[in-house]
Amino acid sequence: MKVLLVDDTKTERLIISSFLEKMGHDVVTAENGKLAVALYHDEKPDLVLMDVIMPEMDGHEAARRMRHDENIWVPIMFLSGRVEPDDIFAGIEAGGDDYLTKPVDFRILEAKMVSMQRIAKMRRKLIDVSNELEIVNSELKKQANIDGLTGLANRRYLDKYLRVEIARSIRNKHQLAVILCDVDHFKKYNDTFGHLKGDDCLKAVAGALQSVCKRASDLVARYGGEEFAVVLPDTNIDEALKLAQAMCNAVSAMKYEHPESEHKVVTISLGVYSDEPDRTHDSVYMLEKADAALYKAKESGRNKVQVN
């Protein structure tokens, strides 16, 4: 174990640390409570052995400060010659877990160290399990917001993100743009090449759309099926149209063969809407406006951008 030994008497520190080191423990020493608190956070010990009466900061105050961070729990054992019931109660109330009477009986110290080592092993196991659970939970949250095929944000996250950005735009009086796009004649593409190739096509389109959006605040999401949505905070209509045209060009430039399309390659149609939202605007309203523009693009020949 790593032990933080805190005592203002140099002789006590030397004797106890020597004994602990012979038992195989790694010992870090401090001469007062103030230094002990700093070492506690830096060294991350498995056990604190601490005197009560010390200059600058006593053991009780040091324990209270160590216990202030509720995400970290390490056993604290007080060393003291004051062992009246009120003294022991005050130590436990300050955050201590055990008491060892001074002068130290090394047989008792050895027994307590064996017990504390068992606690330290269990504590490390619990920390490992907690870290694993945190990683798993983080991954689950991530998966809940990501489309499994394309790796883009999914519809659930799109709706949440758009609501947040509408509220932000209203507060800051900024414009907000939404683009909806659809892969042209995608059903015919699936009928010609099969669903596996269709999945590959959607992943390629997703990559092309993502490559055009450079800002961290721009969100590209899979809206559903062969449809994609893009949310562009603080973006006016001219900027959104320019970005939409770049997306249209990026997809056609892939030159994915599509014999059943009038353009003979995979293309997309895009509808663009930009406005400074007010309290009457919600995510449904914004998406419907972009969808109406997308319908115009598809009706007027596809592989183009239309605005609403």
Catalytic residue among 226, 227, 239, 257: 226
Token pair listed for 48: 């604190």
Could you give the CA distance from residue 305 to residue 297 in angstroms, rounded to a whole number?
6
Q: What are phi and psi of 25, to 5 degrees?
A: -95, 150
Task: Determine which helix (DSSP H) or strand (DSSP E) holds 29, and give its type and residue range.
Answer: strand 26-30
Active site residue 110: no
CA distance to 8, 24, 32, 50, 158, per residue, from 117 (Å): 25, 11, 24, 17, 50
Q: Taking a C-beta distance cutoff of 8 angstroms, is the pair 63, 50 a contact?
A: yes
CA separation for the pair 225, 229 (Å, rounded): 11
Continuous H helices in 44-105: 59-66, 85-94
Phi, psi (5° rounding) for residue 241?
-60, -40
* Beta bridge partners of residue 97, listed in sequence order: none
Residues 211 and 155: beta-carbon distance below 8 Å: no
Instruction: Please give the full DSSP string across 181-231, using - where no structure is assigned.
Output: EEETTHHHHHHHH-HHHHHHHHHHHHHHHHHH--STT-EEEEEETTEEEEE
The answer to whether residues 178 and 221 touch, using CB atoms and an 8 Å cutoff, is no
Q: Which residues are catalytic?
A: 226
